Amino acid sequence: MDNKSQITSMPRTDKNGMTEEQFLASYKPGNYERPSVAADMVIFTVTDAEEENYRKLAKKELRILLIRRGGHPCLGCWALPGGFVRPTETTEQAAARELREETGVSEVYLEQLYTFSEPDRDPRTRVMSCSYMALIDSSLVQVKAGDDADEAAWFQASFRLREQSGRREIWELTLSHEEIFLQALLEKETGRPFTESAILGPGSLAFDHARIIACAFERLRGKLNYTDLALHLMPEYFTLTQLQQVYEVVLDRELPAAAFRRKAAPLVAETDSFTENEGHRPSRLYTKNQEDVD
């Protein structure tokens, strides 16, 4: 063996003369403050609003799953589903586990949003939240509250621009379920994350979850313009009108029917089936175009 081979085969040492093996053997994690990590989820679904006249096409409602906290901190407040990441999990695995526990479904669209790491976001200790967005077909969901929650419910969600001045925007988030109304104002500068600026009314969300929901709304609406993301909110078979309704309820604006159908054409596949017992003229059913759907 030549001198060069001997040199490269020798363990590398640091400035203290320690090899990596020696360094790891003497390393003490307790010498450094370690923040906890949580995975919190904004779970979107679209449901039909109750319609007294069965001949009318049911309106769509965008909903977000919230849980009412059964313990401190924020006892009794509504919050996003989530929990601490276990030592053997990635943040995505933790989010998927929490999703199964809260809704009973898996194999759904799950996307990482943003990491919220403000030092004072949780009064217990330093907790960083790796947030996720999930899109679910409401017909598949079986909602149940987890161990640390008193109740779980789907809240109708609205997120609208309230005022704008130059690069500064004020957005209003409204979440409602039966007699419960939660409202918050969020401030945003172009290219910057949302910051919560005010709570409206008696109800509020726990921690900084209003900011997380605002981030999810921004991501969902932005990606609807250039992806097939809305199809993850649809059942297996649907009409084009129903699909347009989902786009409109997410974007919070009406869309021209002809232009929408041209845009949707490559995303869907026509079937030989039609709607039945709808109280109006049967409509053709479509399904996801598997060649184009991610």
152-164 residue pLDDT tens: 899 999 999 999 9
Distance, CA of 154 to CA of 138 (rounded, Å):
10
Distance, CA of 123 to CA of 146 (rounded, Å):
21
pLDDT of residue 219: 96
**Banded pLDDT at 170 (limits 50, 70, 90):** very high
Scan for tokens 């909903």, then name that residue. Answer: 63
Task: Report the percentage of the chain scoring pLDDT > 70.
Answer: 88
Lowest pLDDT segment from 43-52, 178-187, 227-236, 250-259: 43-52
For the beta carbon of residue 143, count every other beta carbon within 10 angstroms. 18
Looking at this protein, which amino acid is placed at residue 196?
E
Catalytic one of 89, 92, 101, 151? 151
51 is catalytic: no
Please give the biggest Cα pair distance in the chain. 90
Q: Which of 161, 253, 169, 171 is nearest to 210 (CA)?
A: 171
Ramachandran assignment for 58, one of left (phi > 0), alpha (psi -120 to 50 degrees), beta (any other): beta
- Going by the DSSP 8-state scheme, the letter that residue 178 receives in this structure is T
| 3-state class (DSSP) for residue 195 | strand
**Banded pLDDT at 275 (limits 50, 70, 90):** confident
| 3-state class (DSSP) for residue 71 | coil
**Which pLDDT tens digit goes with each residue over 212-228?**
999 999 999 999 989 99
Q: Which of 160, 114, 131, 116 is nearest to 41 (CA)?
A: 131
Which residues, other chains included, contact 25 with Cβ-Cβ below 8 Å and sequence gap of 6+? none
Percent composition of the chain: helix, strand, coil (DSSP 3-state, to 5):
25, 35, 40
